[in-house]
Structure 1
Amino acid sequence: MKPILSSMTCVALALGVLSGCADMTETQRGTAQGAGIGAVAGALIGAATGGSKGAATGAVLGGAVGAGGGYLWSKNMQEQKAAMEKATAGTGVAVSQTADNRLKLDIPSDVSFDVGRSAIKPNFVPVLNQFAASLNQHQVTTVTIIGHTDSTGSDAINNPLSVDRADSARDYLVSRGVARTRIVTDGRGAREPVADNNTAQGRAANRRVEIYVAEPVQAAQRY
């Protein structure tokens, strides 16, 4: 039987690839992280098919794929993040970089929508205006908008409501010049709470919209 790569070896591979991340730029760090993940996955496959030699080869190939695929945290993405942090300061909107190098806007209900409604609230408009301007400046990015509800009401109500909220945000961005083809919407109803639905505060936190911006590596390389 051919030896299977141990968990400790996988960890060592990942750490070896990621050890230089501390002194890297955002773009370099994102590429290195992708390479590390790809290296571990490649090593596991290689070990299962070709023993220790296969593991080493798989790690190299997997690292190359990880570095070249997925999403890129480029200078443009960093600029968009800084612009959105400035635009949303004091609004309660959380702006962050995800583990897979997407820009995430987490928009709570007191900013975005009233209870049981999908119409955009007035204080959500300036956020979307700035967001649309940023998207129009960076044409290679794609957008995913996901609507959520609390657990009040049935799935028959919550599921379409969450979709309607995501679609409302999309339609507003389109009205500000963002191409509809760049935007994907989805609704998760009450299935993905981030807080306790047994409290008013928790339910308010769960009524939210999440917007993700991604710059695919392959798309960026065409420009």
Structure 2
Amino acid sequence: MRPYKNSHPAFRHSATLALITAALAAAGCSSMSEREQGTAKGAGAGAVAGAIIGATTGGNAGRSAVIGGAVGAIAGNLWSKRMEDKRAALAQASQGTGVEVARTDDNRLRLNVPSDVSFDTGRADIKPQMRPVLDEIARNLDPNVRVTVVGHTDSTGSDAINEPLSRERAAAVRDYLTARGLASQRVSIAGRGSHEPVASNDSASGRAANRRVEIFLSEQQG
């Protein structure tokens, strides 16, 4: 049996259009702002999805690709505009502190708060340097944004010490945020102990890097 091959001109044209749109979206991302990246990625994904749906349902695949690209661009733009505003505000609030603010591949905002900003060794008391960053997280946070706080330790000590300590640190961040008006049901916490290091525990600098708190902001869809 010969393999199936759709040679209909409309299908070939729409498939090419969708692939070009996706390629352009990906190619431009490195030089774009967060908002522009969201628009481009949304347009590329929407164009591909629109072309496939149009072709498989007997519609005009080329037109579906254009419509899908427009819808995807709008969705991507709206998403990254809200989150970009918060990202920029957090980056400004944490400037000079060593806190890293970045957008993740799964469209969350991630703050990596190192030990010299977050907590002293063996303690779960929030340092003064961390408070402006937490204040900015709680300030004017969009109602559909959820916060996840993950505490980490270095490998010094046993799991019996490190795992409760990492949870206590995450809980301290949650309690600080809820004291500033963020509803407790919008904040989840976890403690990873020493099980997710980002550096070697064989050096003092590596252990300091591993003693950290990660805060994730995610926008719930729908």
TM-score by structure 2 length?
0.71
Aligned to 2:126: 120
Describe the shift of the 1:148–1:19 C-alpha distance in structure 2 as closer, same or farther (beyond 3 A).
Answer: same
Tell me the CA shift for residue 149 of structure 1. 0.6
Quote the residue 1:105 is aligned against.
Answer: 111
Alignment partner, residue 217 of structure 1:
221
Residue 72 of structure 1: SS of its match in structure 2? helix
Partner of 1:195: 199
Q: Distance in 1 between matches of 2:115 and 2:38?
A: 31
Q: Does 1:18 align with 2:26?
A: yes
Question: Runs of at least 4 residues of structure 1 off by over 6 A?
Answer: 22-25, 37-40, 66-69
CA contact 1:195–1:202 (8 Å) conserved in 2: yes
Residue of 81, 99, 102 corresponding to 1:96: 102
Q: Flag structure 1 segments of 5+ consecutive residues without an equivalent.
A: 4-10, 47-55, 219-223
1:35 deviates by 7.0
Contact 1:30 1:101 in 2 (8 A): no
CA-CA distance at 1:23 after TM superposition: 8.0
Residues 175/39 of structure 1: CA separation in 2 closer, same or farther (3 Å cut): same
Helix, strand or coil at the partner of 1:110:
coil
- Equivalent in the alignment of 1:50: none
Q: How big is the shift at 1:36?
A: 5.8
1:29 partnered with 2:37? yes
Aligned residue pairs: how many?
A: 199
Secondary structure, counterpart of 2:170 in structure 1: helix
Q: 1:129 aligns with which of 120, 123, 135?
A: 135
The CA RMSD measured in Å over matched residues stands at: 3.7
What secondary structure does 2:117 align onto?
Answer: coil
- Which has the larger displacement, 166-175 or 92-101? 92-101
Q: 2:143 aligns with which of 139, 145, 168?
A: 139
Is 1:79 paired with 2:85? yes
* Aligned AA (2:26): L
Return the alpha-carbon distance in structure 2 between the equivalents of residues 2 and 197 of structure 1. 56
Corresponding residue for 1:8?
Answer: none
Residue by residue over 1:73-118, the C-alpha shift from the partner in whole angstroms, topping out at 9 and shown as x without a partner, is: 22x2111111111111111111111122211111001111111111
Superposed, 1:142-221 pairs within 5 Å as 142-218=146-222
| Alignment gaps of 5+ in structure 2 | 6-18, 53-60
> In structure 1, what is the Cα distance between the partners aligned to 2:159 and 2:45?
37
Distance 1:24 1:180, change over 3 A: same
Q: 1:29-85 CA deviation, whole Å, 9 max, x = no partner?
A: 325436767999x8xxx9xxxxxxxxx9xxx8xx99x9879x9322x2111111111
Q: Offset at 1:21?
A: 4.5
